[in-house]
A and B are shown apart, each in its own frame.
Chain A
């Protein structure tokens, strides 16, 4: 059984159907990159996996639990699924350390000292050991995004979701964030990465999914799909991205 099993899900915002029967499995340790134009449904798909967006039809299973079943405790499930957003979404009134320990002490009921120890480990993974007592607005965008990654990692998730995490960054800050992702990939973290960084998708992802109009249009081994696009839509998309 795969870690994530998405089976023919449909999702609409009022009259607009943004996911039209999407199915996708992600195995443990696998890295799946999702590309596509804005409005193709890729971010929505990602947000459905941790229950931030309810779906209207189909099923999503994460680690043996059905995300969209009424009896599922989403709080428990979300501890297993980390998500990092395009706009960082750090808690601006809390220090970096408290941003990371909040979930540990409140949700996991961990003692403060233990939580701090984990915060130090998590912040070391993103190379920001000296920023623990800083507030988010004292950090650059790249640093804030790395803190957001550390905040998710501290919960020891089985799966990490990344929602266009470099799209809001200045070009010179993208590299430091992608390096953290590459390191996570080496450590064997299961990841689903919605991205516009085609180069990153080619080098780090095992599998690539191209979404178009709310459907999975093409998928396969990352390099194979990128080097030999089969559909006009993917060819056009890659053309518009690379130039």
Chain B
């Protein structure tokens, strides 16, 4: 039975968009925590730490996100644990984000001149103190455009969670489209909703950059 599109369908999409946002926010937080650790392991002057971080980054960056999602959702299920789509999606996206954010931040840290490391070492700061007080505050400025660029990319990639049955914006659209068969309208509305989430992020990037320039 094909029915007509109704106003309720729009609200259904809007509510589903909350889950897209929730998924993105949790994954950004989880990914940032992993990313900081990956970045530190990547820049610490201990070779095994670096190998570990590189192995992680290469594995995640070298395999499709969809595959990672399947492995966590179905793979852990095979081991006898029941994983909900929400848990599987947030874990997969956090693990995925951690690798990319770690690399972005590693690059930003390495863009800070070596002389800043020398000057801070010379007054007796330890490696982690150098990072915390001298290098990271300067690296943040370099990292803003690529970090927020990645966030935007992640928001859109959360649509992959629809494949493991998590009802976020894209999955909600599929459900409505199946009932109404109005793909053009439904997917245009979805595109606009994604844009409404991503556009403020991009704007935030500009504002943050401007602010940090003033505050050095």
> Which residues of A does B touch, CB under 8 Å?
50, 52, 74-76, 78-79, 81-83, 85, 87, 89-93, 102-103, 106-108, 135, 137, 151-152, 155
* Contact across chains for B124 and A78 when beta carbons are under 8 A apart: yes
Specify which chain B residues have a CB less than 8 angstroms from the CB of A76 in the assembled complex.
Answer: 124
Which secondary structure dominates where chain A touches chain B? mixed
* Contact across chains for B118 and A93 when beta carbons are under 8 A apart: no
* Contact across chains for B118 and A52 when beta carbons are under 8 A apart: yes
B134 on interface, CB distance cutoff 8 Å:
yes
A85-B118, A87-B115, A92-B138 as given contacts; A155 in contact with B124, CB under 8 Å: yes
A107 to B120, CA, bound (A): 11
* Contact across chains for A103 and B137 when beta carbons are under 8 A apart: no
Q: Which 5 A-B pairs have the closest CB atoms?
A: A103-B123, A89-B119, A107-B124, A79-B124, A89-B115
* Contact across chains for B122 and A50 when beta carbons are under 8 A apart: yes
* Contact across chains for A91 and B118 when beta carbons are under 8 A apart: no
Interface residues of B in 125-180 (CB under 8 A from A): 125-126, 129, 133-134, 137-138
- Chain B: minimal CB distance from A103 (Å): 4
A33 to B118, CA, bound (A): 22
Specify which chain B residues have a CB less than 8 angstroms from the CB of A152 in the assembled complex.
Answer: 122-123
* Contact across chains for B216 and A52 when beta carbons are under 8 A apart: no
Specify which chain B residues have a CB less than 8 angstroms from the CB of A155 in the assembled complex.
Answer: 123-124
Specify which chain A residues have a CB less than 8 angstroms from the CB of B29 in the assembled complex.
Answer: none
A171 to B174, CA, bound (A): 72
Q: Please tell me the size bucket of the interface on B.
A: 10 to 19
A137 to B216, CA, bound (A): 9
Interface residues of B in 97-123 (CB under 8 A from A): 115-116, 118-123
Chain B 30-46 interface 0/1 with A at a Cβ cutoff of 8 Å (1 = within): 00000000000000000
* Contact across chains for A89 and B123 when beta carbons are under 8 A apart: no
A106-B133, A135-B216, A137-B216 as given contacts; A89 in contact with B116, CB under 8 Å: yes
A139 to B21, CA, bound (A): 45
Besides A78-B121, A78-B124, 10 other A-B contacts (C-beta < 8 A): A85-B115, A90-B119, A91-B138, A92-B216, A93-B215, A102-B120, A103-B124, A107-B129, A152-B122, A155-B124
- Chain A: minimal CB distance from B142 (Å): 12
* Contact across chains for A75 and B118 when beta carbons are under 8 A apart: no
A154 to B118, CA, bound (A): 17
With beta carbons under 8 angstroms apart, the residue of A83, A92, A108, A137 that contacts B122 is A83
Specify which chain A residues have a CB less than 8 angstroms from the CB of B216 in the assembled complex.
Answer: 92-93, 135, 137
A85-B115, A135-B216 as given contacts; A91 in contact with B120, CB under 8 Å: yes
* Contact across chains for A102 and B123 when beta carbons are under 8 A apart: yes
* Contact across chains for A93 and B137 when beta carbons are under 8 A apart: yes
* Contact across chains for A106 and B125 when beta carbons are under 8 A apart: yes
Specify which chain B residues have a CB less than 8 angstroms from the CB of A52 in the assembled complex.
Answer: 118, 121-122
- Chain B: minimal CB distance from A73 (Å): 9
* Contact across chains for A93 and B138 when beta carbons are under 8 A apart: yes
* Contact across chains for A102 and B115 when beta carbons are under 8 A apart: no
Specify which chain B residues have a CB less than 8 angstroms from the CB of A79 in the assembled complex.
Answer: 123-124
With beta carbons under 8 angstroms apart, the residue of B124, B129, B134 that contacts A91 is B134
Specify which chain B residues have a CB less than 8 angstroms from the CB of A108 in the assembled complex.
Answer: 124
- Chain B: minimal CB distance from A84 (Å): 9
With beta carbons under 8 angstroms apart, the residue of B118, B126, B215 that contacts A89 is B118
Residue of A nearest to B129 (CB): A106
Specify which chain A residues have a CB less than 8 angstroms from the CB of B116 in the assembled complex.
Answer: 89, 91
